[in-house]
Amino acid sequence: MKRIALIASAACGYLSSVCFEMDGTSRLSAEKQIWEISQNHPITSCRQQLLRSLIGLATDSVVVDNLYNIWKDKSNKLLNEDDYMSLAYQLALRKPLQYKDILALQRERLTSADRKREFDFISRGCTPDRNEQMNLFRSLLLKENRAVEPWTQKLLALLNSPLREPFSNNYITPGLEVLQEIQQTGDIFFPKGWVSSLLSGHRSKEAKNLVSEFLKKNPEYPIALKNKILQAAFILHNINAVK
């Protein structure tokens, strides 16, 4: 039974990855199918895994509304506090007219002062105002504003949400330019986390070209950091053109 659960979990992961690469009506159809499986799969861990995947995947209006209803009522016991916080961020992005209400309710639910500080730091990335988004990104280029690195990565990922491309392409070059400083001043794992949060939400040809141009302009770039960039950029279409 354990082996079956592991195989099913791997299949769920592949399904979510494939869906993320889709667009148009095929993407919407896949999201609806993942939703149905997340509600009916016989293995509890798979239902949880697919539901967590949908938090970041969902673009179909019906699926988004289903997730909103789960979040509003806190009705799914498979989701923990971290999941509900993440769901609030993603719903705020998808429902910009309601984003303040969504964030206010989620913050009200938090009982820990540390959780509220985390939420206040990260949730700023949900603002639909592009000037505020740009100012937030610029603030992250300064070391003193990256003190809590896991929070920084989550905020950066929100700013680079797939929903915000092509505007978020403005962050790619300056975000790569600060990578060496991040390596020198941050935790050993922070450079990988930074570049992953910077690039993982991008799928456009422009984003691919920006990565390519950066590496071409920096032929002596440290190999370890270059490999981290290439690894994070692998999801971009025709990534071989970057090398």
The per-residue pLDDT for range 48-86, each reduced to its tens digit, is 999 999 999 999 999 999 999 999 999 999 999 999 999
Q: Name the token pair of 53.
A: 């995947």
Q: Give residue 237's pLDDT.
A: 52
Alpha carbons 73 and 115: distance in angstroms, whole number: 20
Over residues 145-155, the mean pLDDT reads 97
What would the pLDDT profile of 116-148 be if each residue is shown by its tens digit?
999 999 999 999 999 999 999 999 999 999 999
The candidate with the shortest Cα–Cα distance to 213, out of 169, 166, 147, is 169
H or E element at residue 145: none
What b/e sequence results for 80-106 when a residue is b if at least 16 CB atoms lie within 10 Å of its CB, and e otherwise? Answer: eeebbbbbbbbbbbbbeeebeebbeeb
What would the pLDDT profile of 207-225 be if each residue is shown by its tens digit?
999 999 999 999 999 999 9
The candidate with the shortest Cα–Cα distance to 32, out of 68, 7, 5, 57, is 57
Q: Exposed, middle or buried by CB within 10 Å (0-12, 13-18, 19+), for 233? A: buried
For residues 106, 109, 114, 115, the Cα torsion angle rounded to the nearest 10 degrees is -40
Q: Give residue 1's pLDDT.
A: 57
Alpha carbons 125 and 88: distance in angstroms, whole number: 12
What would the pLDDT profile of 230-242 be if each residue is shown by its tens digit?
999 988 854 444 4
Alpha helices (H) in the chain, listed in sequence order: 2-21, 24-40, 44-57, 61-73, 81-94, 99-109, 113-122, 130-140, 149-159, 172-177, 179-185, 190-199, 205-217, 223-233
Per-residue pLDDT at 243 exceeds 50: no
Q: Give residue 87's pLDDT.
A: 98
Per-residue pLDDT at 28 exceeds 80: yes
Indicate the residue type of 31.
E
Per-residue pLDDT at 11 exceeds 90: no
Q: Name the token pair of 139.
A: 């603030």
What would the pLDDT profile of 162-184 be if each residue is shown by its tens digit?
999 999 999 999 999 999 999 99
Q: Of all residues in the chain, what percent carry a pLDDT higher than 90?
A: 86
Other Cβ atoms less than 10 A from the Cβ of 42: the count is 8
What would the pLDDT profile of 155-164 be if each residue is shown by its tens digit?
999 999 999 9
